[in-house]
Each structure stands twice: as C-alpha cells, then as structure tokens.
Amino acid sequence: MGRKKKEKSDDKKKMGRPPTKPVVKRPAYYVTVKVSNSMNYQKTNVLISKDTIPEIKQLIARSPQAVEFLGYWNGKSYETVPEIVDFLKARNKK
C-alpha cells in the first residue's frame, strides 16, 4: 500500500563538497584586513601573508580597508617587528 523506502548502502554516503583543510601558516609577516561587503553588509577578516617588510609596508599604505598588523609568524606565535610598528605610528599621526 505504501511506498517502500530504498535502503542506503554503505558505498553511497553523503555526497557534496569535502571539508576544507585548515590553513598552514608559514614563517612570514601577517596582516588581517577587514573587508566590508556592500551587498549584504557583512565584514570579513582576511589573513594575508607577505615575505618581506617592504611588501607589508606597501600593502598597508595602499589598502583602503582597515589593516591590522599581527607580526612575524615564527611557527609558534607572532613576534612584533619594531620597524613596522614605527611605520604604523607615523602613518596614524598624519
């Protein structure tokens, strides 16, 4: 009278996109940029890494969004970089 439901076999499990792997940080200078999406009014933090200090300074100087310098990732924690901290302080005074 009623419809019989097909039993799922073990071979056919959930389909779809597999989970993404966590980001593996390499030793570099890291910055978070707060990007605002005007379509749905959300703000997202984007983690950006650069290899050299001049690249980080250029990124900070040219970015129209809010940029927060995290430091140099040494594999365990962020180290402060006095040269970039001084650069940020000089930029904020202007």
Q: What is the mean pLDDT of residues 18-45?
A: 88
Backbone phi, psi, residue 15, to 5°: -100, 170
Whether pTM > 0.75 for this model: the answer is no
Residues 6+ apart with CB under 8 A from 44: 34, 35, 36, 37
**37-85 pLDDT tens trace:** 888 888 899 999 999 999 999 999 998 888 999 999 998 999 999 999 9
Which helix (H) or strand (E) covers residue 49, if one does?
strand 42-50
Q: Which residue has the tokens 């071979």?
A: 11
Q: Would you state the pLDDT for residue 12?
A: 60
Q: What is the mean pLDDT of residues 14-37?
A: 86
Q: Would you state the pLDDT for residue 13?
A: 65
